[in-house]
Amino acid sequence: MTARDGQYDRRRGLRRFVQLEGVAKQALDTGHVRLIAVAAGFALCFLVIAGRLIGLTALAPRDDGANLPAEARQVHSARAEILDRQGVLLAGNVRAVSLFANPRKVMDAARAASQLAAVLPGLEQENVLRALSSDRGFVWVKRQLSPRQQDAVNRLGIPGLGFADEERRVYPLGRLAAHVVGFTGVDREGLTGIEKGRDDDLSAGRTTTLSIDVRVQHALRAELLASVEEFQAIGAAAIVMDVHSGEIVAMVSLPDFDPDAKDEVPADNLFNRATLGVYEMGSTFKAFNTAAALEFGLAGLTDTYDASKPLRVARFTINDDHAKNRWLTVAEIFQYSSNIGSARMALDLGPDRQRAFLKSLGLLDRPQIEIPEVSAPMVPSPWREISTMTVAYGHGIAVSPLQMATAYSIVVNGGLAVTPTLIARRPDEQNPSPRILSERTSQSMRELLSLVVEDGTGKQAKAKGYLVGGKTGTAEKAGAGGYRRNALLSSFVAAFPIDDPRYVVFVALDEPKGIKRTFNFATAGWTAAPAVSRVVSRIAPLLGVAPAPGPAAVPSDSLLVSVSKDR
């Protein structure tokens, strides 16, 4: 084709073309070739850049972490949620990123360590420098950064760093059920509570639904906190248990902790007093001694024992705190919480039958439940005659609140075995339970427990509108060389409604102090019993327990009516 140069003819208003030949034509053709070559070069560069961007974004794996080192990929599996029995979230996950490094690609380890320590609180510069100076291909720098921290690290522009997507375990209700739910480590492996006890299920993505009801849990914790504050106790424990299914509807241990800030928690706060603590329970144990005497046919409610004077055995003397100084019926021994009468009943029972009965209630073995923080009881060894007598009123043997709630459930539910659980059970999971004691003995014990609240040491456990039965227990805590008279464990175990029990409530205060309102008494009738009254009043409506049609009272046809008055 011939090159042409257009010129304008003013006379004719036309454009005329001049053909270029020779050197001019060659120069123009060369310019065209160079222009095409430059354009092709720019296009090629843009194609390379676009391909690289596509490789880094659209074609690169994103959330599955497949392009990350193996150490970073292992945190990507999802951990299942923990829910309360109503479906309320107790433990879940939120997205988080963690910072790692390839030390071999970090150009200036000292400078990088200084910069990272400046923008990431809690990092020790020396530790970071040591990690970045290693010859490894992967090291964690800091786990679970906040978005602002991630942005700050990005702005540093340090080569050799990378981020791994993972999940952080969170506990939306904080302290409410901390000892039950527990917490995980930085790699989300269960360390305590249900998080550890059900670690395999949770790691496999299987949601765990607890028997805990957060409404009942909140009420129980609030009342326990109020009692601890009022009586300046060093700690407390409480349990609400379904007497038929063994489901634990609420469990509280104080002091507690925030599992989202577990690294800042004192070690003592992690201790679960409800399952890991074992204590001499004092007079609450008399329920088992009395039930055993009735079950083995050794005594009836109207049979009497000599409680007219202290009982001396070798170098020991057994006294009554509320001495009547006379013979007492079995019902009165329980009503007035007589140590002397209980010890004499235990002598008739004997050590072999006493041990066998307590074992059948689960009081001599480590209980089985879905959390690892569980202690075995402390039992007499050898089990001498004096042990038989002191165990009758709750001394010389130490058990956990969990064991007490379980044993009382058996005593009041008609005598059927109960297995405690923190996992919600379906109605079709209820299997027939073996019988531990007779319905007749259980009925008699319900009447005795009602009598204690109506006209005994547990009067302050009455809850308006509800039938409550229970037993007080005040035990001196053991110390170096004996017992500490001013260090008490004050507890109350209640069942309601006592005419047809559905729930047991256990409350214990550790070293409460007497106050003006209690005439400086720190015993269970003044401290733990009122707490139980408030708890029952708050949780009964939540649990669907209807108020009684009349005031709580011992049934009119009960044998106790004829023996319940002080003679």
The token pair at 429 is 């999971």
The token pair at 422 is 């923190």
Band (553; pLDDT cuts 50, 70, 90): very low
Dist. CA 171–CA 93, nearest whole Å: 9
Alpha helices in 70-206 (DSSP H): 70-73, 109-119, 125-132, 147-156, 178-181, 193-197, 199-203
Class of domain 217-562 (CATH, top level): alpha beta
Domain edges within the chain: 1-37, 71-209, 217-562
pLDDT digits (tens, 9 = 90+) for 329-357: 999 999 999 999 999 999 999 999 999 99
Cα torsion 403, 407, 408, 409: sign: positive
Q: How far is CA 481 from the centre of its chain?
A: 35
Instruction: Provide, rounded to the nearest whole percent, the portion of the chain with pLDDT above 90.
Output: 66
Fold annotation for 71-209: Penicillin-binding protein 2a (Domain 2) (3.90.1310)
pLDDT digits (tens, 9 = 90+) for 462-506: 999 999 999 999 999 987 767 887 899 999 999 999 999 999 999
Element (H, E) at 390: helix 385-391
Dist. CA 322–CA 452, nearest whole Å: 13
- On whether the CB atoms of residues 411 and 288 are closer than 8 A, the answer is yes
Which of 35-44, 187-196, 394-403 has the least mean pLDDT?
35-44
Catalytic-labelled residue, pool 283, 442, 490, 533: 283
- On whether the CB atoms of residues 444 and 287 are closer than 8 A, the answer is no
Which of 397-411, 421-435, 490-504 has the least mean pLDDT?
421-435
| Phi/psi of residue 507, nearest 5 degrees | -135, 130
Q: Is the pLDDT of residue 389 over 90?
A: yes
To the query of whether residue 283 is one of the catalytic residues in this protein, the response is yes
Of the ranges 92-106, 164-178, 410-424, 475-489, the best mean pLDDT one = 410-424
| Phi/psi of residue 470, nearest 5 degrees | -175, -175
- Predicted confidence at residue 62, as pLDDT, reads 40
Residues whose CB is less than 8 angstroms from the CB of residue 226 and which lie 6 or more positions away in sequence, other chains included:
531, 534
The token pair at 168 is 């952080």
* Three-state secondary structure call for residue 381: coil
- On whether the CB atoms of residues 472 and 532 are closer than 8 A, the answer is no
Closest listed residue to residue 390, CA positions, set 243, 272, 282: 282
Q: How far is CA 338 from the centre of its chain?
A: 37
Annotate 476-505 with b (16+ C-beta within 10 A) or e (fewer).
bebeeeeeeeebbbbbbbbbbbbbebbbbb
- Other beta carbons within 10 angstroms of residue 382's beta carbon come to 6
- Predicted confidence at residue 147, as pLDDT, reads 84
Band (311; pLDDT cuts 50, 70, 90): very high
The residues with which 163 forms a beta bridge, in sequence order, are 99
Cα torsion 504, 510, 516, 518: sign: positive
3-state secondary structure 381-421: CCCCHHHHHHHCCCCCCEECHHHHHHHHHHHHCCCECCCCE
Band (36; pLDDT cuts 50, 70, 90): confident
- Predicted confidence at residue 6, as pLDDT, reads 53
pLDDT digits (tens, 9 = 90+) for 92-114: 998 888 899 999 999 898 999 99
- Predicted confidence at residue 72, as pLDDT, reads 59
pLDDT digits (tens, 9 = 90+) for 13-30: 555 545 556 666 666 666
Band (262; pLDDT cuts 50, 70, 90): confident
Residues whose CB is less than 8 angstroms from the CB of residue 507 and which lie 6 or more positions away in sequence, other chains included:
224, 227, 236, 237, 238, 491, 492, 528, 531, 532, 535
Q: Is the pLDDT of residue 129 over 80?
A: yes
Per-chain mean pLDDT for the chain = 87
Closest listed residue to residue 335, CA positions, set 389, 296, 290, 297: 290
pLDDT digits (tens, 9 = 90+) for 373-387: 999 999 999 999 999
Dihedral, CA atoms, 516, 518, 519, 520, nearest 10 degrees? Answer: -80
Band (287; pLDDT cuts 50, 70, 90): very high
Residue whose tokens read 């000892």: 179
Dist. CA 383–CA 449, nearest whole Å: 28
- Predicted confidence at residue 31, as pLDDT, reads 65
- Predicted confidence at residue 485, as pLDDT, reads 79
| Residue 390, burial from CB neighbour count under 10 angstroms (0-12, 13-18, 19+) | buried
- Predicted confidence at residue 443, as pLDDT, reads 97
* pTM reported for the whole predicted model: 0.81
Q: What is the mean pLDDT of residues 309-314?
A: 88
Q: What is the mean pLDDT of residues 48-74?
A: 50
- Predicted confidence at residue 164, as pLDDT, reads 85
- Predicted confidence at residue 257, as pLDDT, reads 96
